[in-house]
Structure 1
Amino acid sequence: MADPVISLIIEKTGDLLIQKLVFLKGVRRQVERLRNDLVRMRCFLKDADQRQDEDERIRNWVSEIRAAAYDAEDIIEIFASKVEFFTKDKGIVTKLTYYPFKIVNFYKIGKEIESLRMRLKEIADSRVEYGIKNLGEGMTTHGEELQRIRRSSPLIEDKDIVGFGEITKSLVAELLKEDRNRRVVSIIGMGGAGKTTLAKKVYNHADVRERFDCRAWVCVSSIYNHKETLTSIIKQLNPVTNELLDMLEKMQEQDLEQRVYQDLQDKCYLVVLDDVWKEEAWDCLARRAFPDVNTSSRVLLTSRKRDVAVHADALSIPHELKTLGEDDSWQLFLKKALGHGANAVCPSDLEVVGRKIAGRCAGLPLAITVIGGLLLGKKKLKSEWEKVLNNFNAYLSRSQSEAGPILELSYADLPANLKYCFLYLGLFPEDSVISVRKLIHMWVAEGIMQKRDAKNLEETAAYDDVERLCSRNMVQVAEMTVDERIKSCRVHDLLRELAIRKAEDENFFQVHDTRDDEISAKSRYLAVHSLPLDKNYFGSSTPPLRSLLFLNVHRENFSLSFKSFRKLRILDLEKAGMDYLPKEIGEVRLLRYLGLRRTLIRRLPHSLGCLRNLQTLDIRTYYPVEVSNFIWKLESLRHLYACRMECDVPLKIDGLRNLQTLLGVNFDDIMHNNMITLTSLQKLGIWVGERSEIDKLCLHLSEVENLKTLHLYRNITTVWPSLAGLSKLHHVTELKLSGMFLRKLPPDFPPNLSRLSLKNTFLRNDPMPVLEKLGQLSFLKMKDAYRGPQHMVISRHGFHQLKFLELRYLRVDEIKVEEGALPQLQCLRIRECYSLEKLPEELKHISSLDALELVDMPEDFISGLDADMVSTVPNLRIF
């Protein structure tokens, strides 16, 4: 696979030609030639990419192409942005005034493109010197070497195994299950999680060996060789003689398939396919070589990809191998670091530092094994172990012969756009829980999904890529929404280190996490995790940054000059401590994502209206933000997040046809705009006052056809206005009401409402008799929503469609559930309800209930749980 960054930039250059054609027509031919030069360079990139790890000169050669590709995109986009800014939607007089400006800039960009083409020619000429061959000219690749290191065998079984007891029993039981059909049992997990180790343990289990007539083990790998796999199976099923070897040498693939089929046809067989990467590999074997003839045969498959396991047998749920818990991690660490097997006991002076080292491995058996092996060869001194702890990543990276190939294979198998997405995750700090919504906004702003042309498909494609990375076990799911969408994710430390190492090798990004780091003048992406006191943060260098992220930098009176950052697409200043935004921000014309969440900023400069490319603006600061009347100019704006915006004149927002999310706007501002013109608006959050006429608001919003979510909130201790009129909102399926002293529920609700959230509403009367009659309600969250009598009642047949119910911080001592209520309930979450004495007994009659989650509940409540009742719930989770 050619360099992911260059591949994407070549595609984006072509997209720019189409999108900005009207502004580029004066230099169209030069741009096309430049793009063709980059396309030709890509012919040599596959060979170079496979050899970057072997030769620093080749790595530098690829880096030069990448820098030229970045410069090409920057030159074209900056030029088009300037011409667009000065001529779009302007009158004839203005256009004539700026005509000389266009001529000068056409000449200037023409010279820059020609200079860039000369650079590319010099780079191309130098490839011969580096021995870089044309696409398709064969040689041993780095990937093939990784595969050879990775080859597995069932003969050498790791005796130091912990944490696999229950899953081993489960796998053995499934292999021995009475089912005459051929079935596939799958183990999935990230690289280094112990899939092969577990498969060996199951393969060599006494009950398994006794059950099957014959067994075979093959390591499939990502570079699948069908003939080699078939040959290996035949050798394991037959005595290996010279006659057999001669015959195998002469046989074609079709003959080998028939021979495997014949060898297995009348037998109850077990075949282990270790490390399967592609669905095609399974198809080749299953359809032509593995008979399914009612002999209770089994295939045990390991893979990093959930999709592969599901494809092999859609009826079999894959066994997902999670990282080890704290206790199991410690036991495995002791075995590997001290070498005493089951009798490993840690010297008292080493235990504290030892547990910290084990903790850094984050439950990954591979990391524990590598670090433990390093410590085994060192003196058992506290100073030696502390040295490893303080330089954990350096010691781990020195052991690449063990850890590197396993993780690098996962990266090498990613398509170009997923490589780009994975590398981007390395910008976030260690152990970060990363918001998927934020990640999607950033990826879209980077233009990774630029090729998608259907409405809103960029966000959909970006979410799909998050799912693909999770399915491949490159990224871990941290939190799911109730409707089973990924809400947040995290990257294991080892994989984050891989992303950082790859990114630094490719000059993709730089992470600045110590005060002594120097900012590279070549950095395109920079994540700042530690901020020095020196005001001149970037020194004399001015890197051509595209993304600048300040993550977890807590500094008061922090300021930043934007004059040197005209190429920025993404600027994230979350928690950075800034108290004002300089007016120079308006000169960063290519900016698409601006994050100011949890800063101290109280006012946005009017120059922000110059950011015509801005897609996401997050101003959920600690204070209400004063916004001058420029929002209507942000024609590319898709998402505007605010806690509360204030404007001295009615805020104009109509005409923003790309706007999907608008949170934190005042009631009067909404009523002064023609909301029908916001044709993409899906999510709207409005501050309402005591005199706000909600009935008129609902009529005003009733024809906004894409509006799905409405959030109404107050923070003043006076009563709410009348909430009549909600029934006019036929398109709204989700309603959130937040704010004190709602007193009573609205007289009506949107007719198609499926999701309802009540927060800090302090209702006086039990809301259940009203809410349980909402016919399509499937999701209900209540937080400090009720302050009436000390009990709530859900009546017979109430909530007949509700699937999720969360009750948080409710001051009730009893919840009554009548028989027949909540017939569809799948998850009940009770959180911080400190007065609640017990769970409703009727829960044991709700057959659909799959999960009961108890979060921050009193110890007396937990200890008093009825064991018989909670035993009827498949998943009890206590946090």
Structure 2
Amino acid sequence: MVDAVVTVFLEKLLGALSEESRVFSEFRDKFETLQSELQLMQSFLKDAERLKRKNEIVRRVMANLRELIYEAEDILADCQLQSRDDGLFSSGWFMCTNPFKLPFQYQTGKSLGEINRKIATIKQDILSYLGVPLLNQLEPINAQNDLMPRWSSPVYDHTQVVGLEGDASKLKEWLFEADKGILAIGVVGMGGLGKTTIAQKVFNDRKIEEHFDRRIWVSVSQNFSEEQIMRSMLRNLGDASVGDDKGELLKKINEYLLGKRFLIVMDDVWSLDVTWWLRIYEALPKGNGSSIIITTRIEKVAQKMGVKEARLHWPKCLSKDDSWLLFQKIAFAADGGECKHPELENVGKEIVEKCKGLPLAIKAVGGIMLCKPSRYHEWRRIADHFRDELAENDNSVMASLQLSYDELPSYLKSCFLCLSLYPEDCVITKDQLVHWWLGEGFIPLRNRRSAIAAGEDCFSGLTNRCLLEVVDKTYHGTISTCKIHDMVRDVVIKMAEDDAFFSTEGKNCRHLGIASSMAQKANHKLRALLSTTKTGEVNKIASNTAKKFCESRSLRAMDLSRSIFDTPLSGLLHQIGVLQHLTYLSVSNTHPLVQLPPSLDKLSNLQVLDVSYCQNLKILPPCIMTFKKLRVLDASHCGSLKYLPKGLGRLSNLEVLVGFKPAKSSQLEGCRIGELRNLIRLRMLGIRLSCCDEIGDTEVNVLVNLQELQHLSISCFDSHGNNDLTSKLDKLFPPQQLHELSLEFYPGKISPSWLNPISLPILRYLSLSSGNLARMNEKFWGNDNTVWKIEGLLFESLSDFEEEWERLQQVMPALRVVNVSWCPELVSFPIENVGFRGGVWKEEVHKS
């Protein structure tokens, strides 16, 4: 990924050279020489990337170049740290005579000169090897062409299934025939064939949901323990099962399932040693038509787990027609899922034929073509490259995934390699990925573009290429969590280890998951240290391990979320101030955390700070309000947090602020809500209110001029139906361009007057949950000329809400998705079309 490393470095260098700094002026000529050399080399680095997989000499040369770029990036970061003190050394004579500056000047100049000499030699070596004898035959590439994917938002439905309907129907027939004992069904086939997709389609089928009292999905994969399997089963049943031994876990599973008809899916089982399963199976209640589905690549595994020959299902590869249909749905998603370019049909079918009917391969190449221009010569180039990959590796899936990686824009290669840290079947949050990418500078930022929006575009760039699988979406369809297919993981780990991005052994790499072994010496190359635990699990970290976290001085990203420490975290991280390159810090859901370490005040480069779900955290240090680069501050779900410190309005780059608890007039050290009016770059805001004193009479207009604000959440938990707060909220007008609004625990009986289609003309998503709301304000219904443009609606736990559903539908003609639960007084809601899921009534409305 040398081309990716170079692209990221040049992006940072471009920003640094635009700064007016005496420190940079000392080395400007050397940095500019480095910049021009690397820009020229970009034009052939991608070819060299492919060659290095086949040639050891090119491989070594590229590895040396990568290390030099990382060294140059560290020097650049040190210069930026030095430039903070530029004002103290404003005169030339003081700059030259200061004993603290002289060693830095000398060493930096010497190092940059040496790097430039080595890079010039490497350039000539690569040029000679590639058969490019003259330097002037190459031109610097246009970086603008590589900045953003062609489609930067999701453009197709990730849940669509083609050609597997017959497989799913066959399995459902078997399930409905189950009677005595426990029916075992095996789905067997090679990787990428769609086994998991078939099982998911059956598992989520409405009739299957109604037929079974309990459904359990367990991702087994290659690395698992018997205890992990049991805990995963219990989490499916709503039990955290903390502190139980295996015997107690089995007893609990039996109690939850006793007398119930249940369906268990054991997905992706590899081990021929099934003693773990025999123990679990023995504890399961028998009868009632309960069933088990096992997906595996190995027939003998299914047989050992009790599947009879008559209940083994071998999915076939997709037919020629189904393969072309699936490819069209992805590659031409922007055209409605149909090829409208006759000149591309033949080459498209040639590409699909090479996929040999394997859905994962078809999705991968379809994702590539979706992000390419609809030009014949570009498609011909991809077809030829695919042919070459198949000549090296006859596995269509692996060849298509390798091609997907090769065709990624440089910056997306870095983002993609981040996936190598996560264990098998780990559910990954989009926010963690975006914050990490932002912290390491992987996201290209130009023209003061929103960093979070650019990060979300990168995320969509990977989902559109089918390199990420969707796990969960919000009620309005935004992807919130994802995972990667095990074959995609195989590819990304190989690429990451080849480029010293990540190592499964945790040695000599720049990125490490905390779930990996930490029993090692300090790694001074480390750039990122992240929690990568699976859903429902926590890291239990010993003190001697935690103390090593601050020894890697090059760290850019440190995420300790979902971790338990045996002593207070603030003490373990008392030296965190030495990590002055740190840009992303998350201590979300860590325990015990009562306060942040004092040396935090030295982390002036922080762009993301996440303290969410720290229930014992009572105060944030005032130094946070001096972090001018901060873009994300997440203090949500911090129940003990009294307020945020005064000075929040100075954080002019802030784009995301959630968990904002404004100070009362008597809390002089706290931040008043009025400071929000200065945060003109805010895109997402979450406010927590409990009394009217938190909003002054002159502060009710604080949100109106936040023109970038798209997502607003207001929670009035613990307000106890405060009428004075209701009157203040009625005047707290949001900006007109608001895209999404969430009101939780609203204290009033009637909705705010500003909640109407005239005041919020482009609102697309509305969520109302809990609280006292009974009726909508008359303005809510608009007039003959105005109706809502709302597409997604969520009503939850509104026990007094008694409006008519038909009237709501009339004023929301664009409504596509509805999620309604625990609203017993909602008049004329079509309950006959609703499925009962886990004690909650829900309806999904889909309109063309």
- Tell whether the structures are fold-level matches, with TM greater than 0.5: yes
Cα distance, 1:42–1:829 mapped onto 2, change above 3 Å: closer
| Map of 1:546 onto structure 2 | 527
> Take 1:834 and 1:713, find their aligned partners in 2: how far apart are those partners?
19
Shift of 1:636: 0.4
Of the candidates 274, 288, 292, which is equivalent to residue 349 of structure 2? 274
> Which stretch shifts more, 118-127 or 593-602?
118-127
Alignment of 1:351-500 (within 5 A): 401=395, 403-450=397-444, 452-481=445-474, 484-500=477-493
Cα distance, 1:19–1:446 mapped onto 2, change above 3 Å: farther
Of the candidates 493, 511, 515, which is equivalent to residue 529 of structure 1? 515
Shift of 1:837: 11
Of the candidates 660, 663, 666, which is equivalent to residue 655 of structure 2? 660
* Secondary structure at 2:434 match in 1: helix
One-letter identity of the residue aligned with 2:416: F
Q: 2:364, 2:400 within 8 Å by CA — same for their partners in 1?
A: no
| Map of 2:587 onto structure 1 | 596
Shift of 1:526: 1.6
- What is the TM-score normalised by the length of structure 1? 0.60
> Take 2:38 and 2:716, find their aligned partners in 1: how far apart are those partners?
55
| Map of 1:510 onto structure 2 | 503
Of the candidates 182, 197, 200, which is equivalent to residue 320 of structure 2? 200
| Map of 2:726 onto structure 1 | 723
| Map of 2:782 onto structure 1 | 775
* Secondary structure at 1:736 match in 2: strand
TM-align CA RMSD: 5.0
Alignment of 1:540-689 (within 5 A): 540-552=521-533, 553-555=538-540, 558=543, 559-578=546-565, 579-581=568-570, 582-600=573-591, 601-623=593-615, 624-643=617-636, 644=638, 646=641, 650-668=645-663, 669-671=670-672, 674-689=675-690
Q: 2:512, 2:526 within 8 Å by CA — same for their partners in 1?
A: yes
Shift of 1:466: 2.5
> Take 1:13 and 1:468, find their aligned partners in 2: how far apart are those partners?
24
Deviations 1:228-251 (A, max 9, x none): xxxxxxxxxxxxxxxxxxxxxxxx
Alignment of 1:338-349 (within 5 A): none
Shift of 1:874: 5.8
Cα distance, 1:696–1:500 mapped onto 2, change above 3 Å: same
Cα distance, 1:88–1:853 mapped onto 2, change above 3 Å: farther
| Map of 2:247 onto structure 1 | none
* Secondary structure at 1:571 match in 2: strand
> Take 1:705 and 1:456, find their aligned partners in 2: how far apart are those partners?
14
> Take 1:414 and 1:473, find their aligned partners in 2: how far apart are those partners?
12
Shift of 1:69: 0.6
Q: 1:191, 1:406 within 8 Å by CA — same for their partners in 2?
A: no
Q: Percent identity?
A: 23
One-letter identity of the residue aligned with 1:274: K
Cα distance, 1:771–1:104 mapped onto 2, change above 3 Å: farther
Q: Is 1:112 aligned with 2:111?
A: yes
> Take 2:480 and 2:428, find their aligned partners in 1: how far apart are those partners?
9
Deviations 1:448-468 (A, max 9, x none): 233x32233443333233223
Q: Is 1:712 aligned with 2:714?
A: yes
> Take 2:104 and 2:712, find their aligned partners in 1: how far apart are those partners?
46
Cα distance, 1:826–1:541 mapped onto 2, change above 3 Å: same
Cα distance, 1:815–1:729 mapped onto 2, change above 3 Å: closer
* Secondary structure at 1:603 match in 2: coil
One-letter identity of the residue aligned with 1:685: G
Shift of 1:599: 0.9
Of the candidates 738, 746, 752, which is equivalent to residue 759 of structure 2? 752
| Map of 2:214 onto structure 1 | none
Deviations 1:495-554 (A, max 9, x none): 12211111111212234xxxxx3x323x112223245xxxxx352342411111122152
Q: Is 1:699 aligned with 2:701?
A: yes
Q: 2:817, 2:846 within 8 Å by CA — same for their partners in 1?
A: no
> Take 1:302 and 1:719, find their aligned partners in 2: how far apart are those partners?
53
* Secondary structure at 1:448 match in 2: coil
Shift of 1:723: 2.4
> Take 2:61 and 2:132, find their aligned partners in 1: how far apart are those partners?
15
Q: 1:20, 1:80 within 8 Å by CA — same for their partners in 2?
A: no
Shift of 1:25: 0.6
Deviations 1:577-626 (A, max 9, x none): 24423232222122111111111222113432322221111110331342
* Secondary structure at 2:558 match in 1: strand
Q: 1:615, 1:639 within 8 Å by CA — same for their partners in 2?
A: yes
* Secondary structure at 1:35 match in 2: helix
Cα distance, 1:659–1:496 mapped onto 2, change above 3 Å: same
Cα distance, 1:667–1:88 mapped onto 2, change above 3 Å: same
Q: 2:366, 2:465 within 8 Å by CA — same for their partners in 1?
A: yes
> Take 1:93 and 1:853, find their aligned partners in 2: how far apart are those partners?
76
| Map of 1:163 onto structure 2 | 164
Alignment of 1:779-794 (within 5 A): none
Deviations 1:682-712 (A, max 9, x none): 3333333334253443134444444444433
> Take 1:663 and 1:489, find their aligned partners in 2: how far apart are those partners?
22
Uncovered stretches (5+) of structure 2, i.e. residues with no partner: 138-161, 170-190, 196-314, 326-330, 332-341, 353-361, 376-391, 664-669
Cα distance, 1:121–1:704 mapped onto 2, change above 3 Å: closer
Cα distance, 1:191–1:23 mapped onto 2, change above 3 Å: farther
> Take 2:429 and 2:559, find their aligned partners in 1: how far apart are those partners?
13
One-letter identity of the residue aligned with 1:736: S
| Map of 2:771 onto structure 1 | 761
Q: Which has the higher contact order (CA 8 A, sep 6+)?
A: 2
One-letter identity of the residue aligned with 2:487: L
* Secondary structure at 2:581 match in 1: coil
Q: Is 1:833 aligned with 2:822?
A: yes
One-letter identity of the residue aligned with 2:86: T
Computing the radius of gyration from Cα coordinates, the structure with the larger value is: 1
One-letter identity of the residue aligned with 2:607: Q
- What is the TM-score normalised by the length of structure 2? 0.62
State how many pairs are aligned: 616
> Take 2:453 and 2:644, find their aligned partners in 1: how far apart are those partners?
36
Deviations 1:341-365 (A, max 9, x none): xxxxxxxxxxxxxxxxxxxxxxxxx
Q: 2:682, 2:708 within 8 Å by CA — same for their partners in 1?
A: yes
Deviations 1:349-404 (A, max 9, x none): xxxxxxxxxxxxxxxxxxxxxxxxxxxxxxxxxxxxxxxxxxxxxxxxx9875542
Deviations 1:178-222 (A, max 9, x none): xxxxxxxxxxxx9876999545256999xxxxxxxxxxxxxxx9x
Alignment of 1:10-159 (within 5 A): 10-19=10-19, 21-39=21-39, 42=42, 45-81=45-81, 83-88=82-87, 99-120=98-119, 123=122, 133-134=131-132
Q: 1:276, 1:302 within 8 Å by CA — same for their partners in 2?
A: no
Uncovered stretches (5+) of structure 1, i.e. residues with no partner: 139-160, 169-189, 206-220, 222-259, 262-269, 278-299, 314-397, 512-516, 532-536, 777-795, 845-851
Shift of 1:637: 0.6
> Take 1:638 and 1:203, find their aligned partners in 2: how far apart are those partners?
44
| Map of 1:824 onto structure 2 | 813
One-letter identity of the residue aligned with 1:687: R
Q: 2:797, 2:822 within 8 Å by CA — same for their partners in 1?
A: yes
> Take 2:576 and 2:789, find their aligned partners in 1: how far apart are those partners?
49
> Take 1:99 and 1:309, find their aligned partners in 2: how far apart are those partners?
54
One-letter identity of the residue aligned with 1:738: E
> Take 1:71 and 1:134, find their aligned partners in 2: how far apart are those partners?
27
Shift of 1:66: 0.4
